[in-house]
Amino acid sequence: MNATRKTVLIALPNLDFDPSEVAVPWRILTSHGHKVVFATPDGKAATADPLMLSGEGLDAWGWIPLLRKIRLLGLALRANAAARADYAALEGDSAFQAPLAYAALDVAGYDGLLLPGGHRVRGMLAYLESQPLQDFTGAFFDSGKPVAAICHGVVLAARSRSPRSGKSVLHGRKTTALTWKLERSAWSLMKFCGRFWDPAYYRTYGEQEGEAAGYRGVQAEVTRALAQPADFIDVAAGAPDHFRKSSGLFRDSAGDSRPAFIVQDGNYVSARWPGDVHRFATAFSRLLEDGLPAREPG
């Protein structure tokens, strides 16, 4: 047995989590010898967003039964082949098939916590708005154990409050998350080129009357929970591989971390979207095993 073996909890909604942001970390963590367990709102097995697996329904004709099998945008936007293979393996994992309920979680039982994302309202609200899960997450941050959050998982962290301070657990930390640039690009793509009958597919929360564009976006909500706006970190202008990291056109892989961008602040590591997931999961595994310097943006 690996002497550094840790037990990691991955919290999930029942439906519509992003398959890349769960399956790739599961594969990397377990390949490093760690034990991964799961939790859902009611202890029933979870399923990923089917559109992110098949790509069907993401093209402009996706509402037509016979034509939805023809995929153009769908092939580009769905999880890539490596992530789909990881998800197929994950579905056979006994721990994935028998998750715990949020209400049964105990901070003492886990060495690390991973909060993945997803954007589809149908399933994600039960995860993002769960008070028991927010309470657990707040206590977990206060324990000092490692936490990883990606995409909308950072929203869950931002909403979770420290039992000690009463503030968001991200207050005073540096973080990244799904940027408004990436969220707006995907939303615009659906409105004008893809799922026009459901243009808000990529927007979990939409703005209310009188609110500025992006006010309910991931970046804006997370930033409001921070000690100062500058604590939200995005790819710096002039950074190496800036276009690969910021365009949303490239995803990292086991052999190529150039498109990835993560931020590490002490025992907390964050990332923006599935394009960061290999570097994100690898950094979290290293943090579980050895720890890393207090801050490592990029």
- 119, two tokens: 């954007």
User: What is the predicted pLDDT for the residue at 4?
Assistant: 77
Rounded to an integer, what distance in angstroms lies between the CA atom of residue 49 and that of residue 111?
28
Rounded to an integer, what distance in angstroms lies between the CA atom of residue 230 and that of residue 240?
21
- For residue 292, pLDDT over 60 is answered with no
Where does residue 186 fall: left (phi above 0), alpha (psi -120 to 50 degrees), or beta otherwise? alpha
- Average pLDDT across the chain, whole number: 95
pLDDT 10s digits, 163-188: 999 999 999 999 999 999 999 999 99
* Domains of the chain, each with CATH number or no CATH: 7-289 (3.40.50.880)
Residue 62's pLDDT band (boundaries 50, 70, 90)? very high
List b or e across 103-137, with b for residues whose CB sees 16 or more CB atoms inside 10 angstroms: eebebeebbbbbbbbbbbeebbebbbebeebbbbb
User: What is the predicted pLDDT for the residue at 293?
Assistant: 43
User: What is the predicted pLDDT for the residue at 290?
Assistant: 84
Residue 168: strand pairing partners: 161
pLDDT, mean of residues 88-102: 98
Residue 3's pLDDT band (boundaries 50, 70, 90)? low
238 burial level (CB within 10 Å; 0-12, 13-18, 19+): exposed
Which residue is it, tokens 């990835």?
Answer: 260
User: What is the predicted pLDDT for the residue at 294?
Assistant: 40
Q: How many CB atoms lie within 10 A of CB 290?
A: 8
- For residue 50, pLDDT over 80 is answered with yes
Report residue 212 CA to chain centroid gap: 25
pLDDT, mean of residues 89-94: 98
User: What is the predicted pLDDT for the residue at 22?
Assistant: 98
pLDDT 10s digits, 212-270: 999 999 999 999 999 999 999 999 999 999 999 999 999 999 999 999 999 999 999 99
Of 43-47, 71-75, 150-154, 291-295, the one with minimum mean pLDDT is: 291-295
User: What is the predicted pLDDT for the residue at 291?
Assistant: 61
For the chain, the straight-line distance linking the first and the last C-alpha, in angstroms and rounded, comes to 33
Closest alpha carbon to 234 in 225, 245, 244: 245
- For residue 143, pLDDT over 90 is answered with yes
User: What is the predicted pLDDT for the residue at 298?
Assistant: 60
Instruction: Please tell me which residue, 296 or 76, carries the higher pLDDT value.
Output: 76
- For residue 296, pLDDT over 70 is answered with no
pLDDT 10s digits, 13-41: 999 999 999 999 999 999 999 999 999 99
Residue 269: strand pairing partners: 148, 264
pTM, whole model, 2 decimals?
Answer: 0.95
